[in-house]
Amino acid sequence: MNRRGFIKTGAAVMGAAAIPASFALPARAAGTIRVGLVAKSLGNGFFVAVDKGGQEAAKAIGGVEVIFTGPTTTTAEGQIEVIQALIAQHVDAIAISANDPDALVPVCKRAIERGIKVISYDSAISPGGRIVHLAPSSDALIGEALDKLAADASASGKIAIVSATPTSTNQNAWIAVMKQNLSKYPGLDLVSTVYGNDLADDSYREATALLQKYPDLKVIVSPSSVGIVASAKAVEDAKKVGQVYVTGLGLPSECAGHVMSGAMKSFAIWNPIDLGYAVIEVAVDLVKGAKGPGNSLPAGRMGSIAFDDDGVGAMAVPFTYDKSNVEQFAKIF
């Protein structure tokens, strides 16, 4: 969570009808574009970094206010309340990493009908509830990268996945590619996929259970920045460093210690700061009248992003971090 927590987001985590007049936000400056930047949940370092990039874009563009907010838990219900509050605040755009692709569609449709530009990023909303979706990379590239990371950790043996939630759009897509692509690595045997709900305690318990159920497990792959850290801690606490390796998608600042401990050989992630920057650039483009699907939109220092006819655009290939570079990048995000 951005350590400014609820104070920064104000009434944004309350239902729209629950915002009393005495707590109304001050009027926006003339001409200011306001963008609600919605995380899957507060308290996740990935989204704190996304917010940092969003604030950088707002400053670069000028006349843009980013309202960073989200629910306290990774639920669709919590995000629906947040979106209702943003609608009540008459924001110009909403950018959201969805906890459920379909459950958010009705409230997002309502926002669009009121003239708010709604986009998803990281984890997609189904097309009926957004104009465009900005993916940090393509599903194919991410899924293939996860398989390669697992193979680099151990050329053979049993592997398991600690994912976020069963309804997480992006995680499910990446895991589907992983499964399809595993035939390229005949030595690897995927034995289980479990869900830690993008919560540290839940992910730790699931990883610990895997270690107990599969004493010969070789690799835990977590495509969740929360799950990868929790899984590494579980391996360390179980005294299985060097026997079981953890890999997946994580933040250098959170994973560096586990790389140095030997619990991780390598992991990957796109730069969430750049993702947040691009999200705000695209949202502002749409507010200013740009058309998304089938077009390329300018994204400041990120160049331009091409969106297909379904409104999906991708940024870049995940970058791999290991002992050679993780401490350098840990100073950045």
Q: Is 125 helix (H, G, I), strand (E, B) or coil?
A: coil
Distance between CA 78 and CA 165 in Å, rounded? 14
Closest-CA residue to 239 (of 265, 261, 271): 261
Average pLDDT, the chain: 91
Verify that 43 and 84 share a domain, yes or no. Answer: yes
Residue 119 has pLDDT above 50, yes or no: yes
Verify that 115 and 163 share a domain, yes or no. Answer: no
12 part of a folded domain: yes
323 part of a folded domain: no
pLDDT digits (tens, 9 = 90+) for 216-275: 999 999 999 999 999 999 999 999 999 999 999 999 999 999 999 999 999 999 989 999
Task: Decide: 69 and 13 in contact? Cβ < 8 Å.
Answer: yes
Going by pLDDT thresholds of 50, 70 and 90, the confidence category of residue 191 is very high
At which residue do the structure tokens 């609820």 appear?
Answer: 6
What is the number of other CB atoms lying within 10 angstroms of the CB of residue 266? 20
What does the angle CA 276 – CA 328 – CA 51 come to, to the nearest 5 degrees? 15
Distance between CA 267 and CA 245 in Å, rounded? 11
Domain ranges, residue 22: 5-136+271-315
Residue 8 has pLDDT above 90, yes or no: no
Residue 12 has pLDDT above 80, yes or no: no
Verify that 76 and 22 share a domain, yes or no. Answer: yes
| Encoded amino acid at 121, one letter | Y
Verify that 72 and 185 share a domain, yes or no. Answer: no
Going by pLDDT thresholds of 50, 70 and 90, the confidence category of residue 54 is very high
Verify that 160 and 125 share a domain, yes or no. Answer: no
CATH code: domain of residue 107? 3.40.50.2300
Cα 288 to the center of its chain, rounded Å: 26
Between the CA atoms of 208, 213, 215 and 220, what dihedral angle is there, to the nearest 10 degrees? Answer: -50
Residue 332 confidence (pLDDT) = 83
Residue 17 has pLDDT above 50, yes or no: no
Verify that 263 and 284 share a domain, yes or no. Answer: no
Going by pLDDT thresholds of 50, 70 and 90, the confidence category of residue 11 is very low
327 part of a folded domain: no
Residue 21 has pLDDT above 80, yes or no: no
Q: How many residues does the chain have?
A: 333
Cα 286 to the center of its chain, rounded Å: 22
Residue 20 has pLDDT above 60, yes or no: no
Distance between CA 40 and CA 72 in Å, rounded? 9
- Helical (H) or strand (E) element with 89: none
Residue 262 confidence (pLDDT) = 98
pLDDT digits (tens, 9 = 90+) for 86-103: 999 999 999 999 999 999
Cα 274 to the center of its chain, rounded Å: 12
Top-confidence residue, 53 or 43 = 53
Integer CA distances (angstroms), 144 to 2, 162, 278, in order: 32, 17, 24
Number of domains in the chain: 2
Asked which of 239, 269, 299 is the last residue of a domain, the reply is 269
Verify that 177 and 118 share a domain, yes or no. Answer: no
Verify that 108 and 159 share a domain, yes or no. Answer: no
Verify that 51 and 81 share a domain, yes or no. Answer: yes
Report the interhelical angle of 200-213 vs 225-237 (nearest 10°).
Answer: 50
Residue 30 confidence (pLDDT) = 61
Residue 29 confidence (pLDDT) = 58
Residue 31 confidence (pLDDT) = 83
145 part of a folded domain: yes
Distance between CA 216 and CA 8 in Å, rounded? 46
At which residue do the structure tokens 């179980």 appear?
Answer: 238
102 part of a folded domain: yes
333 part of a folded domain: no
Least-confidence region, from 43-52, 114-123, 240-249? 43-52
What percent of the chain clears pLDDT 90, i.e. is strictly above it? Answer: 87
Verify that 123 and 156 share a domain, yes or no. Answer: no
Residue 18 confidence (pLDDT) = 34
pLDDT digits (tens, 9 = 90+) for 203-214: 999 999 999 999
Residue 13 confidence (pLDDT) = 33
Verify that 145 and 215 share a domain, yes or no. Answer: yes
**Mean pLDDT to the nearest integer, 164-181:** 95
**Mean pLDDT to the nearest integer, 140-155:** 97
127 part of a folded domain: yes
Least-confidence region, from 3-12, 65-74, 266-275, 277-286? 3-12
128 part of a folded domain: yes
Cα 105 to the center of its chain, rounded Å: 19
Verify that 276 and 132 share a domain, yes or no. Answer: yes
Integer CA distances (angstroms), 98 to 141, 155, 165, 222, in order: 20, 34, 11, 18
